[in-house]
Structure 1
Amino acid sequence: MTTSRSPVAATLEKQRDIQNEVARADAASSTGNGDRPMQAGARPYPVPPFPEQHQAKPGEEARLDPPPLYDAPFYKGSEKLAGKIALITGGDSGIGRAVAVLFAREGADVAILHIGETRDADDTVAAIRAEGRKALAISGDVKDAAFCRKAVAAVVEVFGRIDVLVNNAAFQVHTADILDLSDAHFDETLKTNLYGYFHMAKAAIPHMGEGSAIINTGSVTGLEGSKELLDYSMTKGGIHAFTKALSGQLVPRGIRVNAVAPGPVWTPLNPSDKTPEDVAKFGSKTPMKRPAQPEEIAPAYVFLASPHCSSYITGEILPIVGGY
């Protein structure tokens, strides 16, 4: 005589079968490629570990190993910014350089501001001109409102107007404990990252017309915070709020204001902040297990700058954070 199983026993057997199936899948994935850094671009990108290195502020792209990838050789321009005039702070290296190159490839003449990295600035100017566009480099400190006004006036004198302002210059140095964060350090971060954006926007807006755009560089730290970048996280969160508030003010003028919030990006900013040991594993904690290269971030700025792509977008924060 056969005894049929109870419904409870059948359910338990089914659940254990599912449990065993998942365990087999977990075991298979642990020996697979789950820890491999993600490569989804047109070319492979460098992955940690990187050579241990450290630079004095502000950091030089020419000395970074491996060199940041900024020229996006597979990116084809299509006149998205034809005839436009762009001004980019922190445009000598990193994200700023990559944005300058793609703006030029899309038909814009580009002015860059930098704080004194002459070699990097010269390389960026050469890259802009190689795209067939005009370039201008100006050295100075965006904390200084008078410099921001003079820089804008110089760009307008050369090019006649400003169509796109990219606020990108930044200061970052980690501090593990708030008690070690000096007033001078806090002041330098806030005045560079917040005052600089304010001064540049205030100086540029009178020279911008309907259809113009302002793009601010925020950060994942402004969205999530970073315990070792207390002051920097504050400024990036402030930049996000500034973006939203200013966008509302400028709707009547027809000027769009947006922000890009990157995660870790391989630029001189980080090796001039972190310890050599931390630089070696920079970006490894992202889901993609590597930092972005500047050329992976720059197309977002093209998108937000071009009236052909984003005419109905203002007051937005676009995170590019490697899968967080």
Structure 2
Amino acid sequence: MTPADQDTLARNIAEAVQPMIQEDALPGHESQLEPKPDWAPRYPGSGRLAGKVAIITGADSGIGRAVAALFAREGADIAVAYLCEHDDAAETKRIVEAEGRRAIAISGDLGEKAHCNAVVAQTVNELGRLDILINNAGEQHPDQDIRDISEEQLKRTFQSNIYSMFFMVQAALPHLTAGSTIVNCTSITMYAGEPELLDYSSTKGAITAFTRSLSQNLVDKGIRVNGVAPGPIWTPLNPSGGSSPEKLATFGQKTPMKRPGQPNEVAPAFLFLECEDSSYMAGQVLHPNGGQVVNG
């Protein structure tokens, strides 16, 4: 991204201070977002995931779409697991197929165990196997006062963000073998905190602990588990109600790079952790966050 592009993005974000849709329609549609996030892989593929099959949750848009595009370029077939943004999911499926790979799109609530079982079953039935699980889907709701977080919202955020990861791993594990990999998406909010995202940040802390513990649980089976903790990334989640208008007006400007990141600046971290380049890494978290130094 050139300095001119960065300035344009910052101006456009500052102008888009009103959420596109109401919070109850999260995570939102990338097709409606302006400016559009950059999802396209930046380099030719080198076959690092040739012949593998990946489930990517939340792959209809944002980071998930960028990961799907990059994995397809590297040779993987993709199951796109998403909530209800059918237009975005269809576009991600088209992107994967344009890379010459197979793709299926599966909609439904990943916070429900039965649906997670169905996602894995359909993937194995239609794509033949399962080698990679990317737990990326999640939701967030801004609240200035902890007393404003309803019991329903608290349960829903944990169900979407951390219960779904337990359910997906439980469903996937019978199909994973030595050499398989799992990457969970946590967040900089787990390390730095975020005063208006108390429930969301708490789930991300749980995800990091889950990642480290699951890694130790599965490493003897030859299954590597790692995590990625993005900083502020330009996706539909924040302008669709995941951030307050005040936060959205300066989104990403507090990072050392003074801008939000793009999904295709995060996707390579997932690729590194899924391919043999990271064969001696397990239980670790990578931090594509615009230069913010955090412990972990």
- C-alpha displacement of 1:40: 7.3
Alignment correspondent of 1:54:
19
SS of structure 2 residue aligned to 1:244: helix
Distance 1:190 1:162 in 2: 26
Structure 1 residue runs of 4+, over 3 Å off? 43-47, 275-278
TM-score (norm 1): 0.85
Residue 126, structure 1, aligned to residue 91, structure 2: no
Say which of 249, 254, 268 aligns to 1:299: 268
What residue in structure 2 maps to residue 320 of structure 1? 288
Cα distance between partner residues in 2 of 1:235 and 1:217: 11
Alignment of 1:118-197 (within 5 A): 118-197=86-165
Cα deviation for residue 277 of structure 1 reads 4.7
Per-residue deviation, 1:281: 2.1
> What is the CA–CA distance in structure 1 between the aligned matches of 2:128 and 2:64, rounded to whole Å?
22
Distance 2:103 2:171 in 1: 20
Which letter maps to 2:218?
A: L
Deviation at 1:224, TM superposition (A): 1.4
Shift of 1:280: 3.2
Please point out which of 217, 220, 223 is paired with 1:252.
220
**2:47 is the alignment partner of 1:79:** yes
Check conservation: 1:112, 1:136, Cα contact below 8 A.
yes
Instruction: Report the counterpart of residue 203 of structure 2 in structure 1.
Output: 235
What letter matches 1:313 in structure 2? M
Corresponding residue for 1:289? 258
How far apart in 2 are the matches of 1:310 and 1:206?
23
1:303 maps to a residue whose letter is F
The alignment partner of 1:83 has SS state of coil
| Cα distance between partner residues in 2 of 1:214 and 1:40 | 33
The amino acid across from 1:76 in the alignment is P
* Larger Rg over CA atoms: 1
Q: Per the alignment, do residues 230 and 277 of structure 1 end up closer, same or farther by CA in structure 2, a change over 3 Å counting? A: closer
2:61 corresponding residue in structure 1: 93
Q: Secondary structure at the match of 2:80?
A: strand
What displacement does 1:279 show? Answer: 2.3
Partner of 1:5: none
Q: Give 3-state SS (helix, strand or coil) of 1:287's partner.
A: coil
Residues 268-301 of structure 1: CA deviation (Å, up to 9, x unaligned): 1111122445323211111111100000000111
Measure the CA separation in 2 of the matches of 1:290 and 1:177: 27
Percent same amino acid among aligned pairs?
51
Counterpart of 2:37 in structure 1 is 68
- CA–CA distance in structure 1, aligned partners of residues 181 and 104 of structure 2: 19
1:44, distance to aligned residue in structure 2 (A): 4.5
Measured after TM superposition, the shift of residue 313 of structure 1 is 0.5
Find the residue that maps to 1:231 and give its secondary structure: helix
Question: What are the Cα deviations for residues 70-127 of structure 1, in whole angstroms up to 9, with x where unaligned?
Answer: 013x312100100010000001000000000000000000011010100000000000
Q: Name which of 268, 272, 280 aligns with 2:236.
A: 268
- Paired residue type of 1:158: E
Whether the 8 Å contact between 1:95 and 1:294 is mirrored in structure 2 is yes
Amino acid at match of 2:232: P
- The residue type paired with residue 167 of structure 1 is N
Do the aligned residues in 2 keep the contact of 1:47 with 1:289 (CA within 8 Å)?
A: no
Any idea what SS the aligned residue of 1:323 has?
coil
TM-score with structure 2 setting the length: 0.92
What CA distance in whole angstroms lies between the structure 2 residues aligned with 1:216 and 1:40? 30
Do 1:287 and 1:322's aligned partners in 2 also have CA atoms closer than 8 Å? yes
The 8 Å contact of residues 60 and 268 in structure 1, kept in 2 or not, is answered as: yes
Deviations, residues 237-273 of structure 1 (Å, cap 9, x unaligned)? 1100100000001012110000000000000111112
CA contact (8 A) 1:172 1:232 kept: yes
For the aligned residues, what is the CA RMSD?
1.5
